[in-house]
Amino acid sequence: MPYLDASPTSLQRMFGIDDGDLPDAAIVVGQWGQDGYFEHVRATWPNVRDIEERSVLIEVDGRRIWVSVVFGAPMAAMIAHYAVRLGARAVIQIGSMGGLAPGLSIGDVLVPSLVIGRDGVSRQLSRNKPIEPSADLTDRLVSELSLRIPDKTVRRGTLVSTTSISLERHSDIARWQRNGFAGVEMECAATISTARHFGAATAGAFVLIDNIADNHTFFDLTDTQKDRIRAAKDVTLRASVAAALSYLNTAERG
């Protein structure tokens, strides 16, 4: 049986997921390393449980939410695939992005209104068309972010997902800027195209860590900017959990 068509029972058995650990929602985090991130999750929520190599589970208000760390589109798609097939009705991708538009500040958070997939995974699932995150879940995420961070820190715009930051060229960046894209990262298109394929609500939030439009690179970060990035990443995680809970509760009442 092709993996895409595998049954929830087969996926649960393949990954060794207990019935009590099946997710109601999933937060997919684009990040190189996972150990330090999971330490932060454990410090934020009690009773965190390990699910599999790249995922932990938190329980909030009776809801089970997976938090998974991935790097790149293939891993993001796999996590989104089996999270949704095992029960997640909302999937939010968070992480870092490079800025493509002038005027964005380090630590600003972009909530994409449209995602352009330039990775192989999302191109196959979206048939090379722009991908729209779910409006309801996106609005809830914007609201939760706005409660936690100052005005004008939360931005909206088009995000492009690329295959790998190591393959970016000046011509790619110039083309993205001509197209009016606000930022670039690697996982969002794969995550939301996969989750939407299986019927889940989707959204995303990305912290600006450098901005080539202002001639600022990640290597130039000051200690103050690094602190702002860390704080913004913490906010996006907390806001994502709150938005997922709000969505689930409203969906059940409706």
CB 195 within 8 A of CB 202: yes
Residue 235 half-sphere exposure toward CB, CA atoms < 13 A: 27
Task: Determine the pLDDT at residue 138.
Answer: 98
pTM here is 0.94
CA-closest candidate to residue 251, choices 134, 28, 89: 89
Question: According to the model, what pLDDT value does residue 218 have?
Answer: 76
| Contacts (Cβ under 8 Å, ≥6 apart) of 156 | 110, 111, 112, 113, 142
pLDDT (tens, 9 = 90+) of the chain, 254 residues, equals 567 788 889 888 988 999 999 999 999 999 988 889 999 999 999 889 999 889 999 999 999 999 999 999 999 999 999 999 999 999 999 999 999 888 889 999 999 999 998 887 888 887 788 999 999 999 999 999 999 998 779 999 999 998 877 667 777 778 878 888 999 999 999 999 999 999 999 999 999 998 887 777 778 899 999 999 999 999 999 999 999 999 999 977 65
Q: In the CATH scheme, what architecture does the domain 21-253 have?
A: 3-Layer(aba) Sandwich (3.40)
pLDDT of residue 121: 81
In this prediction, residue 77 carries a pLDDT of 94
Residue 209: the pLDDT is 94
Check if the beta carbon of residue 176 is closer than 8 Å to that of residue 65: no
> What residues does each domain of the chain span?
21-253
| Cβ–Cβ under 8 Å, residues 142 and 252 | no
pLDDT of residue 128: 80
